[in-house]
Amino acid sequence: MTDLLSGIRVLDLTNVLAGPYCAYQLALLGADVIKVEAPPGGDLARQLGASPDLNKAGMGASFLAQNAGKRSVVLDLKKEADRDRFLDLVATSDALVENFRPGVMDRLGLGHEKLKEVRPSLVYCAISGFGQTGPMRGNPAYDQIIQGLSGIMSITGTPETAPLRVGYPVADTLGGLVGAFAIAAALVRQKTSGEGAFLDVSMLECTLSALGWPVSNYLTAGVEPRPMGNENMTAAPSGAFRTGEGLLNIAANKQEQFVTLCGLIGRPELASDPRFAERETRKENRAALKTLIEDALAAAPAAAWEEKLNQAGVPAGRVLTIPQVLEERQVTERGMSTRFQHVPGMDRPLRVVRGGFMVDGAAPAPAGPPPRLGEHVDEIFATLPARGKTRARA
């Protein structure tokens, strides 16, 4: 039974990534996620992605990534009639997630206090760049803005190349994950006490929270984090190493792992070399140690070393491209992706990835493909009860 949120209805008013990713996690767990999109084009992500044809069709690859399993309606919340229809939806919903700038929903007359009148038990989640309060609350925020402000860019890259942006929208993704976690927790309270919640998710704060180790090293030890490229500041040898073919990540973080590594690469004497014999001395002499290890690793390709080291208990893994990892047996055998052969609005089959967990041995998957804009308007509104009756039950 992977539908842990079966019977839960979530309204998704979000755009682009953080909010849609949040709601996608809930859809994967069986929630009925209704995507409320504004005319004329709906979610901006429908126009974003590597395929111009799909962008033009309103099914951009960026949209497809985190909207499978949802249903779509189109409402213009600036119009009174559509606001009334939206309130009908709210009256039947358990949770709502939006990622507008703070104050937008209030100006529409649809803020949290208004929606509580319609559905007192509603879990309302607002995801924004900086949160609903504070001097930066009204600033526009995209992932790269948050990456820069959070400190992530300052520690990404080498001393020569930093600051660098992480290669995918990590701050947006973290905001979405935290939002989904908070909503799920609030739904537990809702179902036990009938109490709703207002969840204020700040992407900046989510990112800072995820920077736990670097932040702690500064707050606790007074050590300012710095960019170290592929090296691990807490241990050596721990990083990416050149081999006879390809890069190999090795994390010999424990003393016994280092000793084993030295033997496996045919350099057992390194384990007793005064420069490398202890954890702290290895960190001080990491550059020299890396050169010696790479000289030995040149004898075989990364794949061979990966197998040999892991069998002996030394953590190791090739540095793969995205196409490569998607074809790895570890990924394919656990059903990480779902395939839809026929998708309305698309001229090709579609593969999307699920969440990063399984439930009782089964992989939660979206119930259907990403929706066309407004695809489910008639279906959803035809089943809504009169709002007065719903309010009495809320």
Please determine whether the domains at 9-210+331-393 and 238-319 fall in the same fold group of CATH. no
Fold of 238-319: formyl-coa transferase, domain 3 (3.30.1540)
Q: What is the CATH number of domain 9-210+331-393?
A: 3.40.50.10540
Domain-by-domain residue ranges, the chain? 9-210+331-393, 238-319
Helix axes 302-311, 255-264, angle to 10 degrees: 130
Contact present, 289 and 282 (Cβ < 8 Å): yes
How would you write the pLDDT of the chain (394 residues) with one tens digit per residue?
579 999 999 999 999 999 999 999 999 999 999 999 999 999 999 999 999 999 999 999 999 999 999 999 999 999 999 999 999 999 999 999 999 999 999 999 999 999 999 999 999 999 999 999 999 999 999 999 999 999 999 999 999 999 999 999 999 999 999 999 999 999 999 999 999 999 999 999 999 999 999 999 999 999 999 999 999 989 999 999 999 999 999 999 999 999 999 999 999 999 999 999 999 999 999 999 999 999 999 999 999 999 999 999 999 999 999 999 999 999 999 999 999 999 988 889 999 999 999 999 999 999 999 999 999 999 999 988 866 554 433 4
Q: What is the pLDDT of residues 329-367, one digit of tens each?
A: 999 999 999 999 999 888 899 999 999 999 999 999 999
Residues identified as active-site: 172
Residue 151 pairs with which residues in a beta bridge? none
| pTM across the whole model | 0.92
Q: Supply angle C-alpha 246, 319, 254, rounded to 5.
A: 105
**Helices 18-28 + 170-193 axis angle, to 10:** 50
Distances (CA, A) of 179 to 137, 188, 191, 252, 307: 17, 14, 18, 35, 38
As a whole number of angstroms, the distance between CA 372 and CA 42 comes to 10
d(CA 105, CA 98): 9
DSSP classification of residue 46? G
Angle at 94 between CA 91 and CA 95, to 5 degrees: 105
**Nearby residues of 206 by Cβ (< 8 Å), 6 or more positions away:** 171, 174, 175, 177, 178
